Structure 1
Amino acid sequence: MSSMRIGAAIVGAVLLAGVLTGCSSSESETTSTVPTGEFPVTIEHVFGSTEVPSTPERIVTLGVSDADVVLALGQVPVGNSGFAFYETGLGPWAQEQVGDAELTRIESDSEPNLEQIAELAPDLILGLNAGFDEATYNKLSEIAPTVARPVGTAAYAVPRAAATETIATAMGMKDEGVRLNEETDALLADTVAAHPEFAGKTGVAVMSYSGVYAGFLPGDGRGQFLTSLGFATPQPVLDGDTGDTFYVEFSAENTNMLDADVMLVLGPDENFDIVAENRAFANTTAGRNGAIVPATLDQRGAITYNSVLSIPYAIDTLVPRIADALR
Structure 2
Amino acid sequence: MLTKLLPLVALLALLTACSSAAPGDGADAPEGAAGGPFPVQVEHTFGTTEIPERPQRVVALGVTDADPVLALGVTPVATASYTFYEQTGGLGPWARGLVQGEPPVVLTGEPNLEQIAALAPDVILAVSSGIEQPMYEQLSAIAPVVARPAGTIPFGVTRDDQMRTVATALGEPERGEELIRQADAAFTDAVEAHPQFRGKVGATVLPFDGKYGAFTAADARGRFMSGLGFVQPPRIAELDDGESFFVEISAEQTGLLDGDTLVMLADEGSAKAQVDGDAVLAQVPVVAQGRMVVPDADTRGAMTYNSVLSAPYALERLVPQLDAALSRAGS
Residue of structure 2 in register with 1:284 after alignment: 284
Q: Residue 323 of structure 1: CA displacement?
A: 0.9
- CA deviations on 1:48-68 (whole Å, 9 max, x unpaired) are 111111101101011111100
- CA deviations on 1:278-324 (whole Å, 9 max, x unpaired) are 12223334213311111211111000000011011101111111111
In structure 2, how many angstroms separate the alpha carbons of the residues matched to 1:47 and 1:284?
44
Structure 2: give runs of 5+ residues left out of the alignment.
1-23
- The amino acid across from 2:302 in the alignment is A
- CA deviations on 1:118-169 (whole Å, 9 max, x unpaired) are 1111110111110111111110111110011111111111110011011001
1:261–1:285 CA contact under 8 A, matched in 2: no
Instruction: Give the stretch that moved more between structures: 91-100 or 187-196.
Output: 91-100
In structure 2, how many angstroms separate the alpha carbons of the residues matched to 1:53 and 1:134?
22
Residue of structure 2 in register with 1:303 after alignment: 303
Q: Residue 238 of structure 1: CA displacement?
A: 2.4
2:210–2:251 CA contact under 8 A, matched in 1: yes
Instruction: Give the stretch that moved more between structures: 31-40 or 183-192.
Output: 31-40
Instruction: Give the stretch that moved more between structures: 309-318 or 272-281.
Output: 272-281
- Of all paired residues, the percent bearing the same amino acid is 44
1:30 matched to 2:35? The reply is no
Give the alignment of 1:93-104 within 5 angstroms. 93-99=94-100, 101-104=102-105
Q: Residue 270 of structure 1: CA displacement?
A: 6.3
Q: Residue 105 of structure 1: CA displacement?
A: 0.8
- The amino acid across from 1:312 in the alignment is P
Q: Residue 233 of structure 1: CA displacement?
A: 1.6
Give the alignment of 1:129-148 within 5 angstroms. 129-148=128-147
Q: Residue 277 of structure 1: CA displacement?
A: 2.9
In structure 2, how many angstroms separate the alpha carbons of the residues matched to 1:270 and 1:118?
43
In structure 2, how many angstroms separate the alpha carbons of the residues matched to 1:153 and 1:98?
29
1:207 matched to 2:194? The reply is no
Residue of structure 2 in register with 1:326 after alignment: 326
In structure 1, how many angstroms separate the alpha carbons of the residues matched to 2:198 and 2:94?
28
Dislocated runs of 4+, deviation >3 Å: 34-37, 268-271
In structure 1, how many angstroms separate the alpha carbons of the residues matched to 2:317 and 2:238?
31
Give the alignment of 1:15-54 within 5 angstroms. 28-33=25-30, 34-35=32-33, 37-54=36-53
Residue of structure 2 in register with 1:16 after alignment: none
Residue of structure 2 in register with 1:231 after alignment: 230
Residue of structure 1 in register with 2:12 after alignment: none
Residue of structure 1 in register with 2:11 after alignment: none
Residue of structure 2 in register with 1:150 after alignment: 149
- The amino acid across from 2:296 in the alignment is T
Change (3 A) 1:296 1:57: same
In structure 1, how many angstroms separate the alpha carbons of the residues matched to 2:277 and 2:154?
30
2:218–2:244 CA contact under 8 A, matched in 1: no
Residue of structure 2 in register with 1:22 after alignment: none
1:58–1:122 CA contact under 8 A, matched in 2: yes
* Equivalent residues, number: 299
Q: Residue 210 of structure 1: CA displacement?
A: 1.2
Q: Over aligned residue pairs, what C-alpha RMSD do you find?
A: 1.7
In structure 2, how many angstroms separate the alpha carbons of the residues matched to 1:74 and 1:83?
21
Change (3 A) 1:270 1:223: farther
1:60–1:78 CA contact under 8 A, matched in 2: yes
In structure 2, how many angstroms separate the alpha carbons of the residues matched to 1:232 and 1:146?
36
- CA deviations on 1:94-117 (whole Å, 9 max, x unpaired) are 111015532211113xx2111111
Structure 1: give runs of 5+ residues left out of the alignment.
1-26
1:270–1:295 CA contact under 8 A, matched in 2: no
SS at match of 1:139: helix
Q: Residue 271 of structure 1: CA displacement?
A: 5.6
Residue of structure 2 in register with 1:176 after alignment: 175
- CA deviations on 1:238-271 (whole Å, 9 max, x unpaired) are 2233333211111111112222211111114566
In structure 2, how many angstroms separate the alpha carbons of the residues matched to 1:137 and 1:57?
21
- The amino acid across from 2:26 in the alignment is E
Residue of structure 1 in register with 2:240 after alignment: 241
- The amino acid across from 1:128 in the alignment is V
Q: Residue 69 of structure 1: CA displacement?
A: 0.2
